[in-house]
Amino acid sequence: MPNKALMTVQSEDGPPTLEVAARQLGVGLDAVDADFGVIAIDPKQGLYSVQVDAEQMPADVAGQEPYRGPFSTPRIEPLGPPKIGAPDESEK
Amino acid sequence: MPISVLVVVPGQEAIRESAAAFAEGRAATRDLRDASMPSLLSIDPDVPAVPLGTGRLEDLGIVSMAPDQSPAFAVRATVNVDRVEDVPEVVDGRPVFADPRIAPFATCGSTPALGNTAAVVSQLNVARLTASGRGLDGANVAVAIMDTGINLAFLRAKLPAVRLDVANSWTPSNGATLPGNYPIDHGTMCAFDTLIAAPNATLLDFPILASSVPGGSTVGRTISTAMLAFSQLFTNWAVAFAPGGVSKFAGLVINNSWGIYHPSWDFPLGHRGRYIDNPRHPFNVLVAAMAVSGIDMVFAAGNCGPICADIRCQSRTAGAIMGANAHPDVLTLGGCDINDQIVGYSSQGPSIANMFQQKPDVAAYTHFLGSEAFGAGHPDIGTSAACPVAAGCVAALRTKVSFVTTPPTNLFAQIRAMARAVPGQVGWQADFGHGIIDPDATGMSLGV
């Protein structure tokens, strides 16, 4: 599933199903990443997260309140041996 | 303003006595202030005089430099001028020389290892922590290594008693590698360094940076992968309470020797979904919730220090501590060598705007000959190594300091308060934070 968008969903009764998450976000079930599943973010506040196919997101989702995404999922790297030398375009 | 200078003066009784006393390792019987000095100059009585012969290069080896025979001496003095440019070159026929500030050369990526594991053990007073009757050794405390995966065979060859809890480790959904069977790499270094201060801690293998995570290396090394792993730990620790699950441990520490090198890896500035400067990003919210549940999270500050930053920092060294590494509920580590000097690549505070500003919290040791996971003779390096050294200190303390009575925010506040200040330090500073981590003093202050 390329171009995934990280979104949040709300559920006061424990983790929502993928179907419930899809409905909240206004996308089809096939747009929700089943491998990623439903991630607990702050269960006491009823906050969970899913990943959605960015190309199937409704156009107005970013303007909704409260903001539910898309949130970035940037690359992370080990903070191990520092790389030295001239900057390389591949490192950007 | 007073400017320090060096000036060459002829031998006199007080000056000869100063040089002789210093050479013989005794206190001088005369005060240097008794010496006759050129006008405008005040001699520094605390710096011994140094014999120079005649003070001329052409006389070197001909004229004695013994304190009782040397014709001339160098002494330290101060001159009061409005600007450095106003310092005279000669006063009363005596040449005046600069006495500039000097500093040790920085430890950078190519610097050979400084000290070894034994030196770190000594600096952290591990023998006092683990002494009979005190027992701050990490027993019954789990440390999750969020990294490239652990090679248990390599660790066992160096640390035969190492413990790995395979059942409570994490295997990516399509991963074929079992916990403890990953290539010898960064994660194995972190595991080794964790056990320096907490030799009886139990390791959990969370290979979020390994190449076998879903989607392969380029997709796998993302915040969403870290979220999957963190959320599993969180659920097992604070929600599911399954028999034999991670909640059986008295404490749970997560080591995070990873981060983002440059904002260009994230959404653009101002985007509401950005990670690095957004406390409302789901991963940062997850970190806050996990801290409330009693999980101790330790993060490396990063390798974007101003003296010799990693090239992936793209020369950006201000506001370089970003994302969860700058979260108020985690302990953020800068790196210093075993001589208590900050390493040149250690990211300095303040953090990126909108995140907690006074990061790093403290510094811990790095750049020593430890695991040799990168090859024989190669140091454990980066703030990546400082982070697990500190995670081990936290695990050692958690042996007897309950997360119920002393939650992570309180424990980290105590670690900051009891950190060993570096010379001249008053309060938080950009490189060392509140000082060098001192688990022995922290434990004593907490009554363990």
Query: Residue B312 and residue A83: Cβ atoms within 8 Å?
Result: yes
Q: Residue B18: pLDDT above 70?
A: yes
Q: Which of A39, A51, A81 is closest, CB to CB, to B231?
A: A39
Q: What's this model's pTM, rounded to 2 decimal places?
A: 0.82
Measured between CA atoms, how close is A73 to chain B, in angstroms? 5
ipTM: 0.90
Measured between CA atoms, how close is A78 to chain B, in angstroms? 4
CB pairs under 8 A between A and B: 154
- pLDDT at B282 (0 to 100): 96
Query: Residue A72 and residue B275: Cβ atoms within 8 Å?
Result: yes
B213 band by pLDDT with thresholds 50, 70 and 90: very low
| Mean local confidence (pLDDT), B435-441 | 98
Query: Residue B234 and residue A84: Cβ atoms within 8 Å?
Result: no
- pLDDT at B217 (0 to 100): 38
The answer to which of B100-104, B114-118, B130-134, B245-249 has the lowest mean pLDDT is B100-104
- Report the percent of chain B where pLDDT is more than 70: 97
| Mean local confidence (pLDDT), B387-412 | 98
Measured between CA atoms, how close is B399 to chain A, in angstroms? 27
Q: Residue A2: pLDDT above 60?
A: no
Q: Which of B218, B266, B308 is closest, CB to CB, to A82?
A: B308
Query: Residue A72 and residue B315: Cβ atoms within 8 Å?
Result: no
Contact residues, chain B, for A81 at CB < 8 Å: 109, 374, 381-382
The per-residue pLDDT for range B141-199, each reduced to its tens digit, is 999 999 999 999 999 999 999 999 999 999 887 778 999 999 999 999 999 999 999 99
Q: What is the 3-state secondary structure (H, E, C) of chain B?
A: CEEEEEEEEECCHHHHHHHHHHHHCCCCCCCHHHCCCCCCEEECCCCCCEEEECCCHHHCCCCCCCCCCCCEEEEEEEEECCCHHHCCCEECCEEEEECCCCCCCCECCCCCCCCEHHHHHHHCCHHHHCCCCCCCCCCCEEEEEECCCCEHHHHHHHCCCCEECCCCCCCCCCCCCCCCECCCCHHHHHHHHHHHHCCCCEEEEECCCCCCCCCCHHHHCEHHHHHHHHHHHHHHHHHHCCCCCHHHCCEEEEEECEECCCHHHCCCCCCCCCCCCCCCCHHHHHHHHHHHCCCEEEEECCCCCCCCCCHHHCCCCCCCCCHHHHCCCCEEEEEECCCCCEECCCCCCCCCCCCCCCCCCEEEECCEECCCCCCCCCCECCHHHHHHHHHHHHHHHHCCCCCCCCCHHHHHHHHHHHCECCCCCCCCECCCECCECCHHHHHHHCCC
- pLDDT at B102 (0 to 100): 62
Query: Residue A35 and residue B345: Cβ atoms within 8 Å?
Result: no
Q: Residue B218: pLDDT above 80?
A: no
Q: Residue B301: pLDDT above 90?
A: yes
More confidently predicted of B85 and B360: B360
Q: Which of A6, A45, A88 is closest, CB to CB, to B311?
A: A88
- Report the percent of chain B where pLDDT is more than 90: 83
Contact residues, chain B, for A62 at CB < 8 Å: 272-273
The answer to which of B69-83, B202-216, B362-376 has the lowest mean pLDDT is B202-216
A86 band by pLDDT with thresholds 50, 70 and 90: low
Q: Residue A87: pLDDT above 60?
A: no
The per-residue pLDDT for range B29-46, each reduced to its tens digit, is 999 999 999 999 999 999
